[in-house]
C-alpha cells in the first residue's frame, strides 16, 4: 500500500512553498481543515491526511494492537513526512493531534520547523494536582455515548466506508458522511486519546510551538493550554475570542491570522 | 369519522393553537442558541422536561446541560457536523436535569444563516428518548452477546477441526511425508475433509484421506466416526479394501444419511516400500516416478455409506527410490475460477512442476488450487504426499 492511499493524503497550494502539514483531531478527518486551508494555499505547500482508521484512510491498515498508543500515530506522521520528503515542516495539529504532533517532532526533530497546537491537552483525566477537566467516569460515559450514536451505523455505512468498487455511487454518500468512521475504530481511538498521558513528553518538544487556546473549551480548558505553554521549552500561547474546541471551523479567520502571525507572514484573504 | 370531518376538526384545533402556543407546548423541547451555543430561546416543553426555569437557561451554553461524555461528543462530532453540514439528526445525548437526574434525549438541529451566509442561530429540537434508549441498550447487549457466541462458535469449530486431522505433522520413518489442510471459506466452519497417518505394525503404516459430504458439526461427527472406524478396521485386516467395506457397513447402520469418499494406503517396508491402494468414490492417488508422467494408481470403488452392496479392491504398487504418491481431495480438482474447474490436467502439470520434496509437492499443489480460486477455498482442500527418498 502506498503512503498516499494509506493516509488519503491530498496536497494543494504552492508546491515550492514551505510544507504546512495539517493533522486532524479525534472524531473527524481532514475535512475539518476545509475553511482554513484556502488561506494558506498561496504561500504554502498544503498537505492534508487522515489517520489510519479515519476518513478515507486505508482501514485495512488499522491494527488495534499497533494503534493502542499515540506513539503509533506519531510514527505515522513521521512516515508521511519522510515518504513525501518534507523538510522545514510546519505541523498544524488539532486536539489530540497536538500531542501526536509533539511526539512526531521529538522522533524526527530535523524535519519540523514549527508546531502549532490547536486546543492541546496532554492528559484529559484529572490527576493529583493536575486538572485535565475530566474524571475517569466521564470517559466511560463518552464511550457509552459513542455506542448509542453508532447504533444505526454499522449496517448502513459499513459498505460505504469500507470502499465498494462495484458501487461507485456510494462515493457520493461518502462525501456526505462527514466525520463518520468505523464505530469500533472510533471507540478504540477515543480510548487511546482520552486515556493518554503525555505530560512528560512536552518538555522534550524541540520545535518552537504555538498553542492556540479557545475561550470556554470544555475539552481543553485554558489552564491546560497554559500548562502546555509553560512545559514546552519554546512555546507561546494565544487565547482566541472564539469559543468551543474547533476554532478552525467556528472562527477560521481569527485562527488563520494567529497562525500566520506565528509563521511571520500575513495570510491571504479569502473571498 | 369520515375524512372531511377529520380535516375540519384538525383545522378547528389549529385555529385555537396560535404560533406561540404551538412553540411553547410543542410535543418536543425547542432550544435556540447562538452559533457558539449560548441559549437565547427555549420553549416550555423543554423547561418542563429539564426542570429548569427560563432564567436558569438563557445565557448559558447548551453544552452545560450535557454530561461530560456528552460534552466531548458534542465538541468532537456534533458541533463540527453542524458547522460543516448545517444540520445534525438523531444525535443521542443525555441532558442533566436541574435535579441532576439524566434524561436520554434524541436531538435534531439545524443552523439558520444570515443574508451573507454566516451562521446566525442553531435551532434544536429535543425529544425525550428514555424508553427508546433502554431498548437500544438491550439491543446493544444482545449484539454483544451475539458477537460473543459467534466467537465461541468459531473457537468450537476450530477445536473440532483439529480433531479431524493428526495434531502434529505425521512422520513415517524412512519416508518423506508432507500434508496441507485448508478449510473452506474464512475458517468459521468445520470442513468435511480429513486425513490420517498411523502405524499398525512394526513396518506397516496406513495413510487415509477422505471427504464426508456436507459441512458443520453434523459432518464432523461422521468424519470422526469414519476416521476411528478406519483405524480399528486397519488392525483387523491388512487389506485397505476390507477396511473400506467395514466403514461402508458402519455408515449404513449409523443413522446419518451422509456418505463419504476415502482413499486408503497400506504401506509396508520390506525389501523397499510397497503400497496397497484402495479408493471408495475418491480420486485415485497419483504416482510420480522420476522421468515419467504422473499416473493414477489404485483400485477404484463405490461411494462409502450409500449402498450395502458396495465394492472395493486393492492394487499393490512397488515404490522405488524417488517415487512420490500424491493423495488429495476434490477441493483441489474442483477449485473453480468462474465456470472453469482447476481439473486433473492442471493438477498433473502442477505435480510435475513441484516435484522435489514431499513438502514442495504438497504445498505447490494446494497453493496453486487456492490461487486458482483467488485465495478463498469454496471447498476444503487436503493434500498428503509420501515420497521415497532417493
Which of B362, B351, B354, B353 minimizes the C-alpha distance to B386?
A: B362
d(CA B259, CA B245) in angstroms, rounded, equals 13
Residue of A nearest to B141 (CA): A147
Contacts of B268 (CB under 8 A, 6+ apart): B203, B204, B205, B274, B275, B276
d(CA A60, CA B293) in angstroms, rounded, equals 44
Which residue, chain included where needed, has cell 466403514? Answer: B247
Is residue B319 within 8 A of residue B272, CB to CB? The reply is yes
Of A135, A137, A149, the CB nearest to B92: A149
Mean pLDDT of A151-164: 41
Residues of chain A positioned with their CB less than 8 A from the CB of B69: 138-145
Of the listed ranges A30-44, A103-117, A244-258, B142-156, the least confidently predicted one is B142-156
Whether residues A138 and B72 touch (CB distance < 8 A) is answered with: yes
A145 vs B: CB within 8 A: yes
Residue of B39, B66, B71, B76 to mutate, interface with A, max A Cβ within 10 Å:
B76
Q: How many whole angstroms from its chain centre is CA B367? A: 21
Residue B264, classed as helix, strand or coil, is strand
d(CA B349, CA B332) in angstroms, rounded, equals 13
What is residue A174's predicted lDDT score, i.e. its pLDDT?
A: 40
Is residue A131 within 8 A of residue A230, CB to CB? The reply is no
Is residue B75 within 8 A of residue A246, CB to CB? The reply is yes
Q: Are strands B336-337 and B324-328 parallel, antiparallel or unpaired?
A: unpaired
Cell numbers that stand for B256 in this block: 446419518
Angle between helices A96-107 and A70-83 (to 10 degrees): 60
Whether residues A219 and B36 touch (CB distance < 8 A) is answered with: no
d(CA B164, CA B65) in angstroms, rounded, equals 60
Which of B212, B225, B183 minimizes the C-alpha distance to B303?
A: B212
CA within 13 Å, CB half, B153: 12
A151 pLDDT exceeds 70? no
Rounded to the nearest angstrom, the minimum Cα separation between B47 and chain A is 23
Angle between helices A183-194 and A136-149 (to 10 degrees): 170
A216 vs B: CB within 8 A: yes
User: Is residue A95 among the annotated active site residues?
Assistant: yes
Residues of chain B by 3-state class (helix, strand, coil), percent to 5: 40, 30, 30
First and final C-alpha spacing in chain B: 98
A163 pLDDT exceeds 70? no
Distances in Å between the Cα of A240 and the Cα atoms of A256, A269, B202 are 11, 19, 88
Which of A126, A157, A146 minimizes the C-alpha distance to A223?
A: A126
d(CA A262, CA A153) in angstroms, rounded, equals 41
Phi-psi domain of B22 (left: phi exceeds 0; alpha: psi -120 through 50; beta: other)? alpha
Q: Are strands A112-118 and A209-215 parallel, antiparallel or unpaired?
A: parallel
B33 vs A: CB within 8 A: no
Is residue B349 within 8 A of residue B371, CB to CB? The reply is no
A243 vs B: CB within 8 A: yes
B139 vs A: CB within 8 A: yes
Residue of B nearest to A241 (CA): B36
Of A26, A135, A139, the CB nearest to B76: A26
Of B36, B77, B90, the CB nearest to A243: B36
Contacts of B58 (CB under 8 A, 6+ apart): B39, B40, B41, B42
Residues of chain B positioned with their CB less than 8 A from the CB of A95: 76
Which of B115, B90, B122, B118 minimizes the C-alpha distance to B104?
A: B90
Rounded to the nearest angstrom, the minimum Cα separation between A218 and chain B is 7
DSSP B297-338: -SB--PPBTS-TT-----EEEEEPTT-EEEEE-HHHHT-EET
Whether residues B71 and A218 touch (CB distance < 8 A) is answered with: yes
Rounded to the nearest angstrom, the minimum Cα separation between B40 and chain A is 16
d(CA B63, CA B45) in angstroms, rounded, equals 19
Cell numbers that stand for A231 in this block: 512545559
A126 vs B: CB within 8 A: no
Of the listed ranges A33-47, A57-71, A200-214, B74-88, the least confidently predicted one is B74-88
Residue of A nearest to B60 (CA): A216
- The count of CB pairs under 8 A between chains A and B is 100
Whether residues B69 and A245 touch (CB distance < 8 A) is answered with: no
Of B72, B93, B137, the CB nearest to A219: B72
d(CA B277, CA B268) in angstroms, rounded, equals 12
Angle between helices B358-372 and B343-353 (to 10 degrees): 140
Dihedral (Cα; B345, B350, B352, B355), 10-degree rounding: -150
Sheet with B176-182, edge to edge strand ranges: B176-182, B381-387, B324-328, B286-288, B295-296
B93 vs A: CB within 8 A: yes
Rounded to the nearest angstrom, the minimum Cα separation between B81 and chain A is 7
Three-state SS string across B15-51, please? HHCCHHHHHHCCCCEEEEECCCCEEEEECHHHHHHHC
Would you write out chain B's pLDDT as a tens digit for each of its 390 residues? 677 888 887 777 666 678 888 899 999 999 999 999 999 999 999 999 999 999 999 999 999 999 988 888 888 888 888 888 888 888 888 999 999 999 999 999 999 999 998 899 999 999 999 998 888 788 888 988 998 998 888 788 778 877 888 888 889 999 999 999 988 876 667 778 999 999 998 889 999 999 998 887 788 889 999 999 999 999 999 999 999 999 999 999 988 889 999 999 999 998 899 999 999 999 999 999 999 999 999 999 999 999 999 999 999 999 999 999 999 999 999 988 888 899 999 999 999 999 999 999 999 999 999 889 887 788 889 999 999 998
User: Is residue A250 among the annotated active site residues?
Assistant: no
What is residue A64's predicted lDDT score, i.e. its pLDDT?
A: 92
Residue of B nearest to A32 (CA): B80
E runs forming strands in A154-234: 209-215
Residues of chain B positioned with their CB less than 8 A from the CB of A135: 68
Contacts of B39 (CB under 8 A, 6+ apart): B31, B32, B33, B57, B58, B59, B60, B61, B62
d(CA B305, CA B245) in angstroms, rounded, equals 9
Is residue B160 within 8 A of residue B220, CB to CB? The reply is yes
Pick the catalytic residue: A50, A94, A95, A121? A95
Sheet with A235-243, edge to edge strand ranges: A10-13, A44-48, A18-23, A89-94, A112-118, A209-215, A235-243
Contacts of A155 (CB under 8 A, 6+ apart): none
A175 pLDDT exceeds 60? no
What is residue B78's predicted lDDT score, i.e. its pLDDT?
A: 86
A179 vs B: CB within 8 A: yes
A195 vs B: CB within 8 A: no
What is residue B311's predicted lDDT score, i.e. its pLDDT?
A: 94
Is residue B225 within 8 A of residue B219, CB to CB? The reply is no
Average pLDDT, chain A: 86
Rounded to the nearest angstrom, the minimum Cα separation between A91 and chain B is 20
Residue of B nearest to A135 (CA): B68
Residue B285, classed as helix, strand or coil, is coil
Is residue A162 within 8 A of residue A59, CB to CB? The reply is yes
Cell numbers that stand for A26 in this block: 479525534
B76 vs A: CB within 8 A: yes
Contacts of B362-367 with C-beta under 8 Å, sequence gap 24+, read: B362/B178, B362/B179, B362/B180, B362/B326, B363/B178, B363/B180, B365/B180, B365/B326, B365/B328, B365/B332, B366/B180, B366/B182, B366/B332
Which of A83, A24, A90 minimizes the C-alpha distance to A57?
A: A24
Residues of chain B positioned with their CB less than 8 A from the CB of A246: 75, 79-80, 83
What is residue B150's predicted lDDT score, i.e. its pLDDT?
A: 85
Residues of chain A positioned with their CB less than 8 A from the CB of B136: 148, 151
User: Is residue A245 among the annotated active site residues?
Assistant: yes
Give me the count of residues in chain B. Answer: 390
Higher-pLDDT residue of B255 and A115 is: A115
d(CA B125, CA B140) in angstroms, rounded, equals 25
Residues of chain B positioned with their CB less than 8 A from the CB of A142: 68-70, 72-73
Amino acid at each position: 500500500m502506498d503512503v498516499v492511499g494509506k493516509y488519503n493524503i491530498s496536497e494543494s497550494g504552492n508546491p515550492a512553498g514551505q510544507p504546512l502539514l495539517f493533522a486532524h483531531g479525534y472524531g473527524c478527518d481532514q475535512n475539518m481543515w476545509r475553511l482554513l486551508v484556502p488561506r494558506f494555499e498561496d504561500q504554502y505547500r498544503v498537505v492534508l491526511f487522515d489517520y489510519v482508521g479515519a476518513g478515507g484512510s486505508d482501514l485495512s491498515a488499522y491494527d488495534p494492537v499497533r494503534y493502542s498508543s499515540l506513539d503509533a500515530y506519531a510514527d505515522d506522521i513521521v512516515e508521511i513526512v519522510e515518504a513525501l520528503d518534507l523538510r522545514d515542516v510546519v505541523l498544524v495539529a488539532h486536539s489530540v493531534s497536538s500531542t501526536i504532533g509533539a511526539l512526531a517532532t521529538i522522533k524526527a526533530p530535523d524535519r519540523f520547523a514549527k508546531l502549532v497546537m490547536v486546543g492541546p491537552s496532554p492528559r484529559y483525566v484529572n490527576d493529583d494536582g493536575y486538572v485535565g477537566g475530566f474524571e475517569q467516569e466521564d470517559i466511560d460515559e463518552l464511550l457509552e455515548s459513542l455506542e448509542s450514536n453508532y447504533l444505526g451505523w454499522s449496517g448502513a455505512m459499513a459498505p460505504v466506508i469500507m470502499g465498494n468498487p462495484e458501487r461507485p455511487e456510494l462515493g457520493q454518500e461518502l462525501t456526505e458522511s462527514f466525520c463518520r468512521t468505523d464505530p469500533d475504530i472510533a471507540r478504540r481511538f477515543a480510548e487511546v486519546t482520552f486515556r493518554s498521558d503525555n505530560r512528560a513528553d512536552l518538555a522534550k518538544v524541540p520545535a518552537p510551538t504555538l498553542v492556540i487556546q479557545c475561550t470556554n473549551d470544555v475539552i481543553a480548558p485554558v489552564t491546560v493550554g497554559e500548562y502546555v505553554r509553560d512545559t514546552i521549552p519554546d512555546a507561546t500561547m494565544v487565547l482566541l475570542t472564539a469559543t468551543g474546541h474547533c476554532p478552525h471551523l467556528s472562527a477560521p479567520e481569527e485562527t488563520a491570522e494567529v497562525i500566520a502571525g506565528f509563521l511571520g507572514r500575513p495570510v491571504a484573504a479569502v473571498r | 369519522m369520515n375524512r372531511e370531518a377529520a380535516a375540519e376538526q384538525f383545522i378547528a384545533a389549529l385555529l385555537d393553537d396560535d404560533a406561540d402556543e404551538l412553540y411553547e407546548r410543542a410535543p418536543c423541547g425547542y432550544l435556540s442558541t447562538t452559533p457558539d451555543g449560548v441559549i437565547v430561546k427555549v420553549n416550555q416543553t423543554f423547561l418542563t422536561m429539564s426542570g429548569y426555569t427560563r432564567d436558569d437557561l438563557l445565557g448559558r451554553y447548551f453544552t452545560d446541560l450535557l454530561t461530560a461524555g456528552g460534552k466531548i461528543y458534542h465538541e468532537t462530532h456534533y458541533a463540527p457536523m453542524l458547522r460543516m453540514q448545517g444540520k445534525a439528526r438523531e444525535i443521542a445525548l443525555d441532558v442533566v436535569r436541574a435535579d441532576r437526574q439524566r434524561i436520554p434525549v434524541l436531538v435534531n438541529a439545524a443552523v439558520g444563516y444570515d443574508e451573507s451566509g454566516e451562521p446566525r442561530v442553531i435551532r434544536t429540537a429535543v425529544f425525550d428518548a428514555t424508553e427508546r434508549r433502554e431498548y437500544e441498550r438491550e439491543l446493544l447487549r444482545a449484539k454483544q452477546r451475539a458477537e460473543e457466541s459467534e466467537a465461541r462458535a468459531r473457537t468450537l469449530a476450530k477445536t473440532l477441526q483439529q480433531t479431524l486431522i493428526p495434531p502434529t505433522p505425521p512422520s513415517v520413518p524412512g519416508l518423506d511425508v508432507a500434508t496441507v489442510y485448508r478449510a473452506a471459506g474464512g475458517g468459521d466452519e468445520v470442513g468435511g475433509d480429513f486425513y490420517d497417518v498411523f502405524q499398525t505394525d512394526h513396518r506397516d503404516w496406513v495413510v487415509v484421506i477422505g471427504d464426508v459430504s456436507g459441512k458443520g458439526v453434523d459432518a464432523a461427527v461422521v468424519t470422526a466416526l469414519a476416521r476411528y472406524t478406519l483405524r480399528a478396521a486397519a488392525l483387523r485386516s491388512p487389506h485397505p479394501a476390507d477396511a473400506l467395506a467395514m466403514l461402508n457397513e458402519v455408515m449404513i447402520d449409523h443413522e446419518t444419511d451422509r456418505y463419504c469418499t476415502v482413499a486408503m494406503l497400506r504401506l509396508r517396508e520390506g525389501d523397499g516400500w510397497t503400497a496397497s491402494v484402495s479408493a471408495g468414490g475418491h480420486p485415485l492417488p497419483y504416482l510420480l516416478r522420476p522421468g515419467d508422467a504422473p499416473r493414477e494408481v489404485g483400485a477404484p470403488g463405490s461411494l462409502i455409506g450409500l449402498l450395502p452392496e458396495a465394492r472395493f479392491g486393492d492394487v499393490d504398487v512397488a515404490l522405488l527410490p524417488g517415487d512420490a504418491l500424491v493423495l488429495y481431495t476434490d477441493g483441489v480438482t474442483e477449485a473453480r475460477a468462474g465456470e472453469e474447474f482447476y481439473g486433473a490436467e492442471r493438477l498433473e502439470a502442477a505435480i510435475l512442476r513441484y516435484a522435489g520434496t514431499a513438502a514442495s509437492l504438497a504445498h505447490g499443489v494446494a497453493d496453486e488450487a487456492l490461487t486458482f480460486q483467488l485465495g478463498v477455498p469454496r471447498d476444503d482442500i487436503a493434500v498428503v504426499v509420501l515420497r521415497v527418498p532417493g
